[in-house]
């Protein structure tokens, strides 16, 4: 698929088929993150891939899902992610201003997954102390965010943003995501 097509098709996925993702696939996704731009080329990010089901269940408990539609946005049993990629910041390399690195790396991972037909959800609402303890993360590493992965079991629909940016689910559990119109955000040559 062409990059622009993957971008246009991409939506946050919160319901997943229970089909296993290979370690080879996860390594490809992390490699895409590794190749993302990094401020001053410091490369402070490191990653933990989780594909173990029991560990995945423990990680799931540390996450908060889809605040606008909670609890309806939380994946049900049998629809949870089959893998996670945890994004860590090595503070011995960089203590601050790493957010751009994270954004670039995360988008590379999301688009790489999407190109393979795998859905993803970037999550920042994490019980970090609990997750750090569960995964034995050293104190020099900060948990920034986590990427939940799996083959999509839903097909969110883009809507034109009118009154509210809040996403919602309809009676059939289909997610609707309002997006601003291109003409409302783009200017040419002046404001």
Q: What is the pLDDT of residue 73?
A: 86
Q: What is the pLDDT of residue 78?
A: 96
Contact 104, 36 (CB under 8 A): yes
Mean pLDDT of the chain: 95
Mean pLDDT, rounded, for 11-30: 97
Q: What is the pLDDT of residues 93-112, one digit of tens each?
A: 999 999 999 999 999 999 99
SS3 of residue 119 by DSSP? strand
Q: What is the pLDDT of residue 72?
A: 82
Identify the H or E element spanning 160.
strand 157-160
By percentage, how much of the chain surpasses pLDDT 70? 99
Residues 6+ apart with CB under 8 A from 131: 59, 62, 86, 137, 143
Q: What is the pLDDT of residue 168?
A: 83
Residue 173 pLDDT greater than 90, yes or no: no
Interatomic CA distance for residues 57 and 16, integer angstroms: 14
Domains of the chain (ranges plus CATH)? 3-154 (3.40.109.10)
Q: What is the pLDDT of residue 88?
A: 98
pTM for the model stands at: 0.93
Q: What is the pLDDT of residues 62-89, one digit of tens each?
A: 999 988 888 888 999 999 999 999 999 9
DSSP state of 118: -
Is 81 exposed, middle or buried, given 0-12, 13-18 or 19+ CB atoms closer than 10 A?
Answer: buried
Q: How far is CA 152 from CA 31, 125, 127, 162, 171, in A?
A: 22, 21, 25, 27, 19
**The two structure tokens encoding residue 13:** 């996925």
Cα dihedral sign, 150-155-159-163: negative
């Amino acid at each position: 698929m062409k990059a622009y097509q993957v971008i246009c098709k991409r939506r946050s996925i919160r319901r997943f088929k229970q089909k296993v993702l290979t370690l080879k696939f996860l390594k490809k996704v992390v490699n895409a993150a590794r190749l993302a731009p990094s401020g001053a080329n410091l490369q402070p990010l490191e990653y933990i891939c989780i594909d173990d089901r029991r560990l995945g269940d423990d990680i799931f408990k540390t996450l908060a899902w889809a605040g606008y539609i909670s609890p309806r946005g939380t994946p049900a049993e049998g629809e949870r992610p089959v893998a996670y990629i945890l994004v860590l910041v090595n503070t011995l390399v960089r203590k601050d201003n790493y957010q751009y690195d994270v954004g670039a790396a995360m988008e590379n991972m999301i688009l790489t997954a999407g190109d393979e037909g795998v859905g993803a959800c970037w999550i920042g609402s994490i019980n970090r102390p609990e997750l750090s303890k569960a995964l034995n993360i050293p104190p020099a590493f900060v948990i920034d965010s986590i990427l939940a992965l799996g083959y999509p079991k839903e097909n969110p629909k883009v809507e034109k943003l009118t009154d509210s940016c809040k996403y919602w689910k309809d009676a059939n559990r289909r997610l609707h995501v309002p997006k601003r119109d291109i003409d409302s955000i783009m200017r040419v040559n002046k404001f």
